Structure 1
Amino acid sequence: MTTTTLGRAVPPLFDGRRSTARQVGVYVFVLGPFLALLAAVPLAWGWGLSWLDVVLAVVFFHLSGLGVTIGYHRHFTHGSFKAKRWLRVGLAIAGSMAVQGSPITWVADHRRHHAFADRDGDPHSPWLFGTSPWALAKGFWHAHMGWLFERDSTNKQRFAPDLLADRDIVAVDRQFPLWMAVTFLLPAVLGGLLSWSWWGALTAFFWAGLVRVAVLHHVTWSTNSICHMIGERPFRSRDKAANFWPLALLSFGESWHNLHHADPTCARHGVQRGQLDTSARLIWIFERLGWAWNVRWPTPQRLARIAADRSVGGGAHG
């Protein structure tokens, strides 16, 4: 049902429910790589893990992970920079290969997260059930991956109308099943060709396909769960987003989450001394090559405004 605010119609949060087929797909592509991750340690002991598997896993981890952090998150969700058409399409494809949802679905969910951060309406806050030990345990599970199994679908027309109007991104969004297949099969093909063996194809599929996707899943989901529960909060935001330094390298800078929620459109999340932000460095390279422009860097004036908000007890936009 559409509600009204100050006489204006506000579209509903949800635009329907996932079909049974899509819901089954969520279970398969969330739990399948996770089971592979659980099997990885015993299988690695005396089994097929080669340097080729490691190299392929690292390459595809960076390709798909940066597709999410730079493409899905900083570019499409928050407009931290503008990019050439071919780069936009490439980032959307790379993000799709992380198997975390199609571009428009991911962006709609994340914009809803910011609109209702740590309040009712947030799709994955760990604070929705209370502050008792049991409530926080339940909240952690919900924020980390439990929310993925809920069937309500975020209203894309409300939260991502700009992407629905972009024919290139709509095309990539419709091709999501193709890019999911590519992310698992391409490492296997490369592993088979480079080792010239079926065994090389199988081990590359396992390590650079299934295990790599599972690790990336849990790194991303940890930003939703851990980074809203523990860590430092040097900037004030209207929620509980925090910096969790142990995740900085694996998350390509996303775990500097406090600054991000204090200033969501900023292209760099790690703004303090020693805060490694691989995603921001690659955006900087794109800018130098002329592929990206209007990058919203954290200038001293921009950071001073956030600090001023903090000093007077106000909240930066979330």
Structure 2
Amino acid sequence: MVTKVQPDSPRTAAAAQPVLAGEKSSAEMFLVKLFAVVPALALAAAVPLAWGRGLGWVDVGLAAFFYTATCLGVTVGFHRYFTHGAFRANRALRIALAVTGSMAMQGPVIGWVADHRRHHAYADREGDPHSPWLFGTSARALAKGFWHAHMGWLFQRELTNAARFAPDLLADEDIQRVNRWFPALTAVTLLAPALAGGLITWSWWGALTAFFWAGLVRVAVLHHVTWSVNSICHMIGDRPFTSRDKSANFWPLAILSMGESWHNSHHADPTCARHGVRRGQIDISARLIRAFEKFGWATDVRWPRPERLARNLKDSTS
């Protein structure tokens, strides 16, 4: 198994690499805009389309299924496993997490991980690809920062250097292969709901509505939930733990983000497999990791330890 490289303490050779690796090509920029804008337009059309027709229980069920699967592919796979090494996974699970995470249409796995490790290395400082605090603290600056952190940063041409931030994934042949499959997996994530909807209803209309709701709208909702962790969860919320940045716990997003919105807890202890570390904090991603551990597919899981939580907890009198 390839040894995991921690994002905040990269090997000497990787640390010597520049932060950026040039610019995205025109074709890459076009695809970024396509993947961000088209689902967003579908989301904007969703309310008037749903008014009276065009949405059925098959669509709702398929949308919920594909949302849950692809969201967990990002939260458990791309984030907690590939980026932070919160547990070890056998080969089958590693590939499955890379595939389902790619089906969230948030970019190929290696680029996603490189960007997120860079985010942690420079969180809310110059060099962070998506901090909302890069332009100042005035109302106008924060409005600009919110847009930048939420989705504006996606349209910038700068390309994070994977040789510096994700050398372990570049050395993994399985992950390299899944990385190359991203265009095909994008087609699968949009067409599979349409195929299922058509077969279940045995109609072209069922295929079309499933494509719209469980394909385009589902992708758009997941995009904005993920982007909200970058934007909202670095602006407002509770900060019970000490961290080097402005990350915050924002409970309203806990279920939709599968536990990712316990963001202050995560930044205080990035390699921990559970982000909702306090009583009552729902963390669906951690429950799935626990299931993987019970099946023997995940090992060496980094569960929260009381002494580490106590060390990171802010003085309640301060």
Q: Which TM-score band applies after superposition, normalised by the shorter structure?
A: over 0.9
TM-score by length of 1: 0.94
- Corresponding letter in the other structure for 1:171: R
Q: Give the distance between the partners of 2:256 and 2:234, measured in 1 at CA.
A: 17
Tell me the distance in 2 between the aligned counterparts of 1:237 and 1:117: 10
Q: CA deviation at 1:302?
A: 2.3
1:143-158 aligned at under 5 Å gives the runs 143-158=149-164
- Is 2:38 the partner of 1:32? yes
Aligned-partner SS, 2:159? strand
- Determine if the alignment matches structure 1 residue 95 to structure 2 residue 101: yes
Deviation per residue, 1:77-122 (Å, 9 max, x gap): 0000001100000000000000001000000000000000000000
CA 1:73 to 1:9, structure 2 compared with 1: closer, same or farther past 3 Å? closer
Q: What runs of 5+ residues in structure 2 fail to find an aligned partner?
A: 1-11
Equivalent in the alignment of 1:14: 20
Q: Which residue is equivalent to 1:64?
A: 70
Computed over aligned residues only, the root mean square deviation of the Cα atoms, in angstroms, reads 1.5
1:74 is matched with 80
Q: CA deviation at 1:311?
A: 4.4
- The equivalent residue for 1:53 is 59
- TM-score w.r.t. the length of structure 2 is 0.94
CA distance in 1, matches of 2:281, 2:140: 33
Counterpart for residue 180 of structure 1: 186
Residue 315 of structure 1 corresponds to: none
1:108 aligns to 2:106 (yes or no): no
Equivalent in the alignment of 1:294: 300
- The whole-number CA distance in structure 2 between the counterparts of 1:46 and 1:231 is 37
Q: Does 1:83 align with 2:89?
A: yes
> Using a 3 Å threshold, how does the CA distance of structure 1 residues 246 and 9 change in structure 2: closer, same or farther?
closer
Q: 2:15–2:164: 8 Å Cα contact kept in structure 1?
A: no
Q: Tell me, yes or no, if structure 1 residue 164 matches structure 2 residue 170.
A: yes
CA distance in 1, matches of 2:194, 2:173: 31
* Alignment partners' CA distance in 1, 2:134 and 2:17: 23
| 1:46, distance to aligned residue in structure 2 (A) | 1.4
Instruction: Provide structure 1 residue ranges, at least 5 long, that are not aligned to the other structure.
Output: 1-5, 313-318
The equivalent residue for 2:201 is 195
Cα shift readout 1:143-186 (whole Å, capped 9, x = no counterpart): 00000000111000000000000000000000000100000000
Q: Secondary structure at the match of 1:129?
A: coil
Aligned to 1:141: 147
The letter for the 1-side match of 2:59 is: D
Residues 37-85 of structure 1 deviation map (CA, whole Å, 9 limit, x = unaligned)? 0000000011210100000000000010000000000000000000110
Shift of residue 9, structure 1, vs aligned partner: 7.1
How many residue pairs get aligned? The number is: 305
Counterpart position of 1:3? none
Secondary structure of the corresponding residue to residue 260 of structure 1:
helix
Q: Which runs of 4+ in 1 moved over 2 A?
A: none
Give the Cα–Cα distance (whole angstroms) in 1 for the partners of residues 307 and 300 of structure 2.
16
- Deviation for aligned residue 1:281: 0.4
What is the Cα deviation at residue 304 of structure 1? Answer: 2.3
2:219 paired with 1:213: yes
Instruction: Return the letter of the residue paired with 2:58.
Output: L
* Partner secondary structure for residue 21 of structure 2: strand
Residue 267 of structure 1 aligns to a residue in which SS?
A: coil
Percent identical across equivalent pairs? Answer: 69
Preserved contact between residue 76 and residue 285 of structure 2 (Cα < 8 Å): yes
Distance in 2 separating the partners of 1:283 and 1:213:
23
What is the CA–CA distance in structure 2 between the aligned matches of 1:174 and 1:155, rounded to whole Å?
17
- For 1:216 and 1:297, the matched residues in 2 are separated by 26
Give the 3-state SS of the residue equivalent to 2:95 in structure 1. helix
Are 1:226 and 2:242 an aligned pair?
no
2: distance between equivalents of 1:285 and 1:301?
25
Instruction: Indicate which of 3, 23, 40 corresponds to 2:29.
Output: 23
Query: Aligned in 2, Cα 1:291/1:166: closer, same or farther, shift over 3 Å?
Result: same
Deviation at 1:306, TM superposition (A): 1.8
CA deviation after TM superposition for structure 1 residue 12, in Å: 1.1
Which residue identity lines up with residue 186 of structure 2 in the other structure? Answer: M
Amino acid at match of 2:198: G
One-letter amino acid of the structure 2 residue matched with residue 272 of structure 1: R
